[in-house]
Amino acid sequence: MISLDFLKKVEVLKSLNDEQLTAVQGCCEEKVFQSGARLFSEGEEATHLCVMMEGQVDLRFDLHGQSTSDANNISSLTESATFGWSAFVPPNKYKLSAYCATRNCKVLRMERDCLLRLFEQDTEIGYRIMTNVNVVIAKRFQQLRNTASDSPAAKVEITVHMATCGIAAGAREVMGALMEEVAQSGRKDIRVKTSGCLGKCATEPNVTVNIGWEEPVIYQYMNSDKMRQVFRKHILSGQVQSDFVLAEK
């Protein structure tokens, strides 16, 4: 059984007392993965909230039809880090794939349905855990903003606006398509970053493209297909996709 001492270090379980942690123990299991093993896949139903116990797990975008590689890494997680929070965010599908990046990875898995039943029995546990999950999500997006595909010699900067409104409108899927296109292009002068809301919530997801000294172009109502078209036509060929450009009002 997972020890209470370890559970006390888990960021999503902070502020729970020993009695509450003991209740959470019943939803936990420990699982060991070998190097290169995939813990879960992008698009798969998110059934577990996970916490690193030992080793390192890499979160990656899988490029369709290609083998995964370190080049597709979004972040690397080590001891006590929480991931898999899509289990509590509709539509409850993992947005990235998770791979064991060390010789062995020991992971604590908390079953979603078991936790939900526990939340119904003790609403205070549910409130505290979900509050902590929101803190974890905020930290992850701040880390992504600071590190995503950063290139000091970048001539092209693409910003996906990923505030809450953008995420709800599909900005994660837009980011996924963009990261695939950047990886496939082999370009080293493209920087991908995230930012907050433009104040145009009704036109989300929004994407801003900056190329050299040209005026920035803001695209509206983006989805994965539109993002791929913008990347191939505008970024690679210099053709602004006027049909998608944010209308000035």
pTM above 0.75, yes or no: no
Q: How many residues are recorded in the chain? A: 249
Which pLDDT belongs to residue 155? 81
Q: Where are the alpha helices (DSSP H) in the chain?
A: 4-7, 18-25, 112-121, 123-147, 164-169, 171-185, 224-230
Which pLDDT belongs to residue 152? 47
Classify 153 in phi/psi space as left (phi over 0), alpha (psi -120 to 50) or beta: alpha
Q: Could you give the 3-state DSSP secondary structure of residue 41? A: coil
Which pLDDT belongs to residue 166? 87
**Per-residue model confidence as pLDDT tens for the chain (249 residues):** 789 999 999 999 999 999 999 999 999 999 999 999 999 998 899 999 999 999 999 988 765 544 455 556 777 888 888 999 999 988 899 888 999 999 999 999 999 999 999 999 999 999 999 999 988 888 777 766 665 544 445 589 999 998 888 888 999 899 989 988 888 887 878 888 888 888 888 999 999 999 987 889 999 999 999 999 999 999 998 899 999 999 865
Domains and their CATH numbers in the chain: 4-147 (2.60.120.10), 156-244 (3.40.30.10)
Label residue 249 exposed, middle or buried (CB < 10 Å: 0-12, 13-18, 19+).
exposed
Classify 4 in phi/psi space as left (phi over 0), alpha (psi -120 to 50) or beta: alpha
Helical pair 18-25 and 123-147, crossing angle rounded to 10 deg: 80
CB neighbours (10 Å) of residue 215? Answer: 8
Sign of the Cα torsion 70, 75, 81, 86 reads negative
Distant-in-sequence, close-in-space partners of 176: CB < 8 Å, separation ≥ 6:
42, 61, 95, 224
Q: Are 167 and 177 in contact (CB under 8 A)?
A: no
